[in-house]
């Protein structure tokens, strides 16, 4: 697919921040993502009530070199943290003398499919949990241990390890339980913010496939998080990426783990339902 028109606000932005509109435009490529012999769905038709015709993973918009890093677990730089998290899984911590393993046993069995269903309604909290919230609830309430910082290596490694157990499974959240939050996230998604007066939709819905500076715009899906980003030279959370996009349009970003970002996460998970979980993905 090729999109060649730069629309409305983005055309205006082109004068300031975006590279010239005449720059080469390249749609998503036709490569298939296969890891360890398993094909990961990176392009599917969207359901009827969806704003997009088809859903395309961010992986399809990356260069061959970046794609290759995600196709081989030995090359994927995120796997270092995943391996560290395997050790953490078995490590006793906190006043209760427990490890994750004490209750959840083998991560490769008990955590299958978990990531695909997040964010997830949490009855006790009366709101949806991101995976990070669920893990910290276990640490503070069940282990008597300190919460991990959202962007710490421990949390990034653990969300990647848990997420890996859903790799290849379609994102599938509980739309009914999350409906209010999905609505709220949708509103945030389409609201113009920041000095550049842009919404997420301006880039990720109206202009995916186009180039912005030297970067190839994707549909902005969240199925790969946490991801290893070459620019960060490390693994980063989904909410870090949201913050980065808000910084780029010079908006005041919300905090990681905030209700606003959880709502955006819920809406983006809804938008990406049917794509496979790719955790941990690699991006530029």
Binding site for ligand HEC (CB under 6 A): 58, 61, 98, 100, 102-104, 114, 120, 131, 134-135, 138-139, 142-143, 158, 162, 198, 200, 202-204, 212, 215, 217-218, 220-222, 224, 227, 241-242, 245-246, 248-249, 264, 283
- Residue closest to ligand HEC when measured from CB atoms: 58
Between residues 246 and 266, which has the closer beta carbon with respect to ligand HEC?
A: 246
Q: CB 129 → ligand HEC: shortest distance, Å?
A: 8
Query: Strands 54-56 and 43-45, how do they pair?
Result: antiparallel
- Write down the residue that tokens 């301006």 correspond to: 202
Q: CB 251 → ligand HEC: shortest distance, Å?
A: 7
Between residues 139 and 167, which has the closer beta carbon with respect to ligand HEC?
A: 139
Between residues 5 and 102, which has the closer beta carbon with respect to ligand HEC?
A: 102
Q: CB 253 → ligand HEC: shortest distance, Å?
A: 8
Of 100, 138, 200, 245, catalytic: 245
The tokens of 161 are what?
A: 């390890």
Residue 227 contacts residue 48 (beta carbons within 8 Å): no
Report which DSSP code applies to 156: H
- The Cα 252–Cα 180 span in angstroms is 24
The tokens of 46 are what?
A: 């969207």
Between residues 24 and 37, which has the closer beta carbon with respect to ligand HEC?
A: 24
- The Cα 144–Cα 95 span in angstroms is 5
Between residues 79 and 208, which has the closer beta carbon with respect to ligand HEC?
A: 208
Residue 227 contacts residue 46 (beta carbons within 8 Å): no
Between residues 102 and 179, which has the closer beta carbon with respect to ligand HEC?
A: 102
How distant, in Å, are the alpha carbons of 98, 181, 220 from that of 91?
A: 8, 35, 35
Q: CB 116 → ligand HEC: shortest distance, Å?
A: 10
245 is catalytic: yes
Give the DSSP per-residue string, 178-232.
THHHHHHHHHHHHS-BTTTTB-HHHHHTTSTTSEETTEE------TT-SEEETTT
Residue 104 contacts residue 255 (beta carbons within 8 Å): no
Q: CB 74 → ligand HEC: shortest distance, Å?
A: 21
Q: Name 181's Cβ contacts closer than 8 Å, sequence gap at least 6.
A: 119, 127, 128, 262, 263, 266, 267
Q: CB 187 → ligand HEC: shortest distance, Å?
A: 12
- Write down the residue that tokens 């999350």 correspond to: 178
Residue 204 contacts residue 190 (beta carbons within 8 Å): no
Catalytic residues: 245
């Amino acid at each position: 697919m090729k999109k060649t028109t730069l629309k409305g606000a983005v055309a205006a932005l082109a004068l300031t921040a975006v590279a010239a509109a005449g720059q080469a435009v390249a749609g998503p490529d036709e490569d298939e993502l296969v890891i360890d012999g398993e094909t990961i769905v990176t392009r599917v038709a969207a359901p009827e009530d969806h704003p997009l015709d088809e859903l395309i993973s961010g992986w399809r918009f990356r260069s061959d070199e970046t794609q290759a890093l995600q196709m081989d677990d030995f090359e994927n730089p995120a796997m270092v943290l995943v391996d560290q998290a395997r050790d953490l899984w078995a490590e006793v911590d906190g006043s209760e003398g427990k490890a994750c393993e004490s209750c959840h046993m083998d991560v490769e069995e008990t955590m299958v499919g978990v990531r695909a269903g997040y964010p997830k309604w949490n009855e006790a909290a009366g709101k949806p949990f991101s995976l990070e919230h669920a893990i910290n609830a276990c640490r503070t309430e069940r282990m008597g241990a300190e919460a991990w910082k959202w962007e710490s290596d421990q949390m990034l490694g653990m969300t990647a390890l848990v997420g890996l157990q859903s790799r290849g499974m379609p994102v599938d959240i509980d739309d009914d339980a999350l409906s209010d939050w999905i609505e709220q996230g949708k509103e945030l998604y389409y609201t113009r913010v920041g000095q550049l007066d842009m919404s997420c939709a301006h880039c990720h819905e109206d202009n995916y496939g186009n180039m912005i500076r030297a970067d190839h715009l994707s549909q902005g899906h969240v199925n790969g998080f946490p991801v290893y980003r070459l620019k960060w030279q490390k693994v980063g959370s989904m909410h870090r990426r949201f913050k980065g996009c808000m910084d780029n349009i010079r908006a005041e970003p919300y905090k990681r783990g905030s209700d606003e970002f959880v709502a955006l996460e819920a809406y983006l998970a809804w938008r990406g339902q049917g794509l496979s979980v790719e955790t941990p993905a690699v991006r530029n």
